Structure 1
């Protein structure tokens, strides 16, 4: 499997020291904090929320359907052109196009989390769902602006390192939004109170809203990427042409029929992880694991293996090429789901939980770092926000839709059969990665040529 540069030739091999030095640059350090802000909301409207809902007595089928809140991430390409082109009153003149949208999205997320903290799903579910939708919409908007900021902040030779650092911050936030929120809720509830306690979850979600402050501060203190010129539109139709149609037409023009293969790979690459993840927390609750046990395992072992996975994934991508690591990540992601099937037969055993969570986080970190670098390599810098939003949205649409039925599948067949089925979902991914590694690189040579022509 051969990686190629934007010019169609093999990229120069870095020494290990050169690859490591990319992680110490200021852009990488900023991306660590911003990656944390990006990763924080996801579990709070999906994974951790499913733990909270299951503990509150909400049935598994309802929890599965509520995972469709996450489809907001799958449709973010719809408003991505607005984030890419439209200035915000007052904010854009002071912060720039990318940072103004980042700050607005972070404020929206924080307000939505406060709403989720206040509303009790055991009493009335719908207000919490609406607040979760607001968080998901704000989070998806933050992703659009942040992906464009990351791509425009450094050259293509540094994107793998930025992706790995971004993924490290992202995964740390997911640990905080998963293990941290459970730990806070358990401390607020106290050992003397068993079962569901709304006040404990309220405290935990308010703490998550406060956790967005470092990201907001980073946005305010970070430099805006050099603004690229946006041609003045003479009419609404011309503006829509430039904002909505041109980014997608450019992608199809550069990849032609290979675009179908690229989009197919993107659509299914994370399917095993996404479909399985919706039922992971209900599984922990049904297996009898307490909030403290789940928090302790994911906080300690999950953090370590996530850091190792993201770092190894980025380092190997820089050293060996993205496509090789993409294949490795696909294999590991599917295989780690089989460990959950094994755990369902073991039952309530903390040692086994440690092993399974560690392996799952290691696999996910490696796969995610390589996948982000792969998506970044496909974009044209002239349409970075729109094209990256389209590609990353494709990653979630099919998996999130299928995940909505995960509760029904578990109710009908049990957890062991469910986890085995999610592992088999990863089989087509291996074929698509193999094909993309051999067919698509022939189209990559056109990328830089079209990128230059689109700017001229």
Structure 2
């Protein structure tokens, strides 16, 4: 018993280390823009009478999360002049992107949904682009600054921070909007950029490691001239990260699983805000149930996700979290049958947050473990982009589906949409793909 307790305390010790603590702050700045894009915008527009079909189209603002791997090579390899010389490569990109986010959010805050719907769409898309770019930098920084044996702890802490950013943004905006209006509430979101900036100043620039493939390419670049030098530079930035990944066993199966795993959640997520508005919940009720009550369930889910990943291993933990996330869509269908029931809303959001917290920790640790440290930004961007593809593609049609199917049938459909991802997980598990990442076989 004493030894087990000692081992448990040793397992908690890394959470007090500076790089691990910093991932919490990075997660806060990474998490809040998605809440603005996928949840708060839907509530804001619905409150001003914008149709569900139009709100559904706003899911296109999540497209940059799905395609960020296209410009991630630039973030991985391109220096930013004096910013890079002063801050270092990773931190320079973060400073630049956060400045753009601040401008976009402040501009969004002065627009009127009743007359500026199209313009709001473009600005929210810009927020999505900048947020996806910020995620690319933060993910690369997090993986590079943490030792390999701290990736699980970092996954848990960045998930805590990410969801803290979600909750602070969601609860805070709804509360402020109720008393001071939506313009002030949205403008105050720029304050959530500060934790990430503080984190990278506190920890510093990570050391950069070079894969043998990269070292060989760089030696060729040094000798080349003219167009050949440009070609080799593009090959280094764009091609090599993908070449390295395709050398792995069953790499196509891995990518297909990542694409399908959260399909059901992708369809449902964009419509949870309009559902609550349709059920006539007030901003205060949504704030208390949707963000405040769900906080406890979320923290428990994230904490158990780290334990589950360590004890059960990759595939068992992915399977359990995937099943739970699928079941929470059924709970939303139940909420639709209950009507304006604050207790039912709290139960629904509590269930969703618990499953999301569990799944987020496991998925972050899994994707991080797949990255080669020489190509961190590009490879993690590719993997996380695939995870977002279903949200961008399927979420676009969610408003039309909800309008035509009705709320109960819509959430039943979103539940079934999760099944293909679980089938792909079973295939990977049976073929023992990535079993070397398993942390708790037995």
TM score, norm. by length of structure 1: 0.89
Residue 247 of structure 2: SS of its match in structure 1? helix
Greater CA drift, 271-280 or 34-43: 271-280
Structure 1 CA distance for aligned equivalents of residues 190 and 435 of structure 2: 44
Contact 2:66 2:389 in 1 (8 A): yes
* Structure 2 residue 62 is the aligned partner of structure 1 residue 81: no
1:32-81 CA-to-partner distances (Å, cap 9, x unmatched) read: 01100000100112211000011111111111111111001100000000
1:85-135 CA-to-partner distances (Å, cap 9, x unmatched) read: 011111111111111111211111111110110111211212222221221
Distance 1:119 1:440, change over 3 A: farther
Q: Equivalent of 1:422, from 414, 423, 430? A: 414
Structure 2 CA distance for aligned equivalents of residues 207 and 293 of structure 1: 21
Residue 211 of structure 1: SS of its match in structure 2? helix
RMSD after superposition: 1.6
1:263-299 CA-to-partner distances (Å, cap 9, x unmatched) read: 1110011112221010000000000000000001133
Contact 2:60 2:125 in 1 (8 A): no
Structure 2 CA distance for aligned equivalents of residues 419 and 48 of structure 1: 20
Hey, what does 1:68 align to over in structure 2? 60
Residue 57 of structure 1: SS of its match in structure 2? coil
* Structure 2 residue 341 is the aligned partner of structure 1 residue 349: yes
1:186-208 CA-to-partner distances (Å, cap 9, x unmatched) read: 121xxxxxxxxxxx110001111
Distance 1:39 1:442, change over 3 A: closer
User: Equivalent residues in 2 for 1:285-364 (5 A)?
Assistant: 285-364=277-356
Q: Equivalent of 1:154, from 131, 146, 151? A: 146
Hey, what does 1:252 align to over in structure 2? 246
* Structure 2 residue 36 is the aligned partner of structure 1 residue 44: yes
Post-superposition shift, 1:444? 5.0
Structure 2 CA distance for aligned equivalents of residues 21 and 116 of structure 1: 42
Q: Number of residue pairs matched?
A: 419
Contact 1:175 1:299 in 2 (8 A): yes
Post-superposition shift, 1:220? 2.6
Contact 1:172 1:306 in 2 (8 A): no
1:137-195 CA-to-partner distances (Å, cap 9, x unmatched) read: 1111111111111111122221111011101100111112222211110121xxxxxxx
Residue 46 of structure 1: SS of its match in structure 2? helix
Hey, what does 2:3 align to over in structure 1? none
Consecutive unaligned residues in structure 2, runs of 5 or more: 1-5, 438-442
Residue 228 of structure 1: SS of its match in structure 2? coil
Residue 75 of structure 1: SS of its match in structure 2? helix
1:341-363 CA-to-partner distances (Å, cap 9, x unmatched) read: 00100100001111110011000
Contact 1:274 1:399 in 2 (8 A): yes
Hey, what does 1:217 align to over in structure 2? 198
User: Equivalent residues in 2 for 1:152-231 (5 A)?
Assistant: 152-188=144-180, 200-229=181-210, 231=218
* Structure 2 residue 106 is the aligned partner of structure 1 residue 114: yes
TM score, norm. by length of structure 2: 0.92
Contact 1:16 1:319 in 2 (8 A): no
Post-superposition shift, 1:440? 4.7
Post-superposition shift, 1:442? 6.0
1:293-343 CA-to-partner distances (Å, cap 9, x unmatched) read: 000113322211111111110122123322211111100000011000001
Structure 2 CA distance for aligned equivalents of residues 219 and 126 of structure 1: 36
Structure 2 CA distance for aligned equivalents of residues 29 and 365 of structure 1: 18
Residue 353 of structure 2: SS of its match in structure 1? helix
Distance 1:86 1:412, change over 3 A: same
Contact 1:105 1:138 in 2 (8 A): yes
